[in-house]
Structure 1
């Protein structure tokens, strides 16, 4: 059943394996389109009407009926109410593309005997876009929905979540032969989620808006299509023949670096988290990732930021409240990963005619290739925190060796602005928090080792060798001399 769902989803998403020619709407055209859509599907679910296409006056009516898949599933595992066909209307365009229009809604309820229940609700989901069968994707599309809601209940906990009005726009543009740039932007409003019965009892999460921005540059869409169709053509086989295994290796080799650059940013505004301790909040919380493809020097970046965090009233003692940052960021990257080398090794050594293409030693070798010389390099790109009494920034890099736990090194720069404000704050509150006095004393000692930066900033260039020795601005610590 899982395999049938996979094949059905792939066929439904691909729509067509060849460009559509500008044509009159006709029953013959509908039949040809339906045959292309169902080419990879098992005959029994095709005959049951999972995907059907009918000709109308100026468009083709595409109908996807998920109840067919449910009827194919084993009885008694999941009981679902409210399933109905999904409709879309395809209008052939002169340049060989399709204009796709859809307006659907969902109100699905399901039970899993002895396990729990779930619901999915989508109110008025609209799609309007131009689909290009050559790239098997939209060149442009607008998606909107009035409301989305989900709930899940088990014996252990219950989860419910919803979004208000949401909209997303997708664009894609063919670049070099076989490559495409894709971008997607969207906003989802009035997010709320409630988790009840978990370790924390009850947690309520909310945000006014979620802004989403995703871009994928230089995606190798043509070879990716070939890989998808290769999998669909061969997934019914118990094992690959030698000629098919060789074809798979050629496709994998041609796919590198898969894409040139991926970036994704999600920003939640006016965030609240309600717990038994009170309501925590923030003006904004941002999450981002970025990656430069499957190369010999791959970089994977990740980041998290918060603006004006707000703890519940009274949870922080007054002497700590002033130290709460107005904004804080953590952005780092794992760099110099030889992912292309690992894929090349896989291609050169794997035997895809066998159930286990690689030996245990070969799998370990792939791990060693990914980390050149066994080292993982972590670069700190934006680690910072700012409040009324401090302004702290850290940059640089660290080397760690996962298979040698005691081996590591670092080369980082710590910059402190508003240093005098920080010392004044610590000394003013040392009577209530004795540890502040110790920190103040330590910072004043460190000031003597700092170099001056612009605007009176204090800067420490810290080097930590694999032998554990520490240099500050090129000078060893006194007790290490």
Structure 2
């Protein structure tokens, strides 16, 4: 969905290798621009015209021909029909930026002849438009709008076939310089009328749909300048099997300066009115959400992710009547892995790597990096919000757990369980115990647990549960009776 923005961004990335171009459009500037854009491309692709720049009256015409890339790559058993040049128009602006416009479409079909049989695929985009301001200093758009209509993808193999489509898509990206070498980047978008059908395989036919998919991504404090320098350094030395001593020291300095790469990264995806049709019926939900968050390559990196569902709807008749009322109205599972020493691992790598050798680290040094990432060998997992809410129960769990990947039997946890509507839950279980005997056992366990709970206020029951490495359990500071 962001392919055109990324293509234009990548094609323009090398513009910062020299001072900003003149506002005047000339043939000599077009030639200079083309040379910079093709600096790292193989000569045969440059000569074939993979990327060309032409001067018009008040803009540059940037042309990218993917058919040449496929031809020179010698795709072998792959054939693709419908590839055509993509064109963007770059208009120099007074402040040294470029107003970029593009308007294109795709209708590509292809085959891959490989075991266990021939695969076919197609990509169709009725129309897609890009309109933005590109800043050569940051190698990105300060603002850009990308829109597309009717995106369709198909893939067919002897085992299964997949068809996916979006009705309309609109994306907006923006970048703002916050301080010297720092950038805040945001990207928001919405994709409408998503539909996917998978036929074949163990699941039979599955139809997935969503009215809208909303995306919100932000990156604060991106170290864009040093990352640029690092990128160009790698490109300049891509073919070198090993570095000279001076270049090795330069690389180490760039790696150190790049940390933490960014301050915060967040991504939120929300799909609305989701349906999943299967042979057993159609499952649905008002919304499904997905979130990730990270605070950069730091000495205490936190990597969080979460999924959530609002008003799930199982197919009619699939659940016994006694269970129907127990389906949650909303549920959430948000956890984070914390205290990862990623910066420490990078520091160790920079301090010990010898880039003048084909293998910069010894095997033992590589293993040491893994030990540094997990201080004291432990992984800390925080439960930010694990919850389920329905008319008959309201349960939330928070806390953390320590695990030791190299010692599977060593772990501990400290969590808090909060339960509201306790009496409603017990009454529901008792009412349906005759139909579901397990409910009678569950109500008995809950009543026992109530005796161990503390009052959380507002009718809430709370259990602070601590599990030690020795397996002993404390509830609200008291050991279980059978463990005393």
TM-score category, normalised to shorter length: over 0.9
C-alpha distance in 1 between matches for 2:423 and 2:247: 70
Paired residues of 1:21 and 1:95 also in contact (CA < 8 A): no
Q: Which residue of 2 aligns with 1:360?
A: 363
C-alpha distance in 1 between matches for 2:103 and 2:11: 20
SS in 2 for 1:39: coil
Correspondent of 2:315 among 312, 330, 338: 312
C-alpha distance in 1 between matches for 2:254 and 2:190: 37
C-alpha distance in 2 between matches for 1:415 and 1:75: 58
C-alpha distance in 1 between matches for 2:441 and 2:76: 66
- Once the two structures are superposed, the pairs formed by residues 118-129 of structure 1 within 5 Å of their partners are 118-129=121-132
1:236-262 deviation line (CA, Å, top 9, x unaligned): 223222222221111111100000000
Structure 1 window deviating more from structure 2 (150-159 vs 466-475): it is 150-159
1:338-377 deviation line (CA, Å, top 9, x unaligned): 0000111111111222332222211111111111111100
Instruction: State the shift of 1:474 in Å.
Output: 0.6
SS in 1 for 2:53: strand
C-alpha distance in 2 between matches for 1:75 and 1:89: 30
1:97-126 deviation line (CA, Å, top 9, x unaligned): 000000010100111124311111111100
Q: Which residue of 1 aligns with 2:303?
A: 300
Paired residues of 2:193 and 2:209 also in contact (CA < 8 A): yes
- Once the two structures are superposed, the pairs formed by residues 82-481 of structure 1 within 5 Å of their partners are 82-114=82-114, 115-481=118-484
Instruction: State the shift of 1:409 in Å.
Output: 0.5
Paired residues of 1:170 and 1:183 also in contact (CA < 8 A): yes
Paired residues of 2:13 and 2:136 also in contact (CA < 8 A): no
CA RMSD of aligned residues (A): 1.6
C-alpha distance in 1 between matches for 2:416 and 2:216: 31
Q: Which residue of 2 aligns with 1:65?
A: 65
SS in 2 for 1:239: coil
Paired residues of 1:296 and 1:339 also in contact (CA < 8 A): yes
Structure 1 window deviating more from structure 2 (353-362 vs 460-469): it is 353-362
Runs of 5+ in structure 1 lacking a partner? 1-5
Q: Which residue of 2 aligns with 1:23?
A: 23
Q: TM-score, normalised by structure 1?
A: 0.97
1:439-465 deviation line (CA, Å, top 9, x unaligned): 100110110110011211000000111
C-alpha distance in 2 between matches for 1:47 and 1:328: 57
C-alpha distance in 2 between matches for 1:75 and 1:18: 35
Instruction: State the shift of 1:22 in Å.
Output: 4.0
Paired residues of 1:16 and 1:33 also in contact (CA < 8 A): no
Q: TM-score, normalised by structure 2?
A: 0.96
Instruction: State the shift of 1:16 in Å.
Output: 4.4
Structure 1 window deviating more from structure 2 (83-92 vs 34-43): it is 34-43
Aligned residue pairs total 476
Paired residues of 2:21 and 2:29 also in contact (CA < 8 A): no
Paired residues of 2:310 and 2:330 also in contact (CA < 8 A): yes
Paired residues of 1:20 and 1:92 also in contact (CA < 8 A): no
Instruction: State the shift of 1:402 in Å.
Output: 0.6
1:409-429 deviation line (CA, Å, top 9, x unaligned): 011000000000000000000
Runs of 5+ in structure 2 lacking a partner? 1-5
Paired residues of 2:288 and 2:310 also in contact (CA < 8 A): yes
Paired residues of 1:19 and 1:96 also in contact (CA < 8 A): no
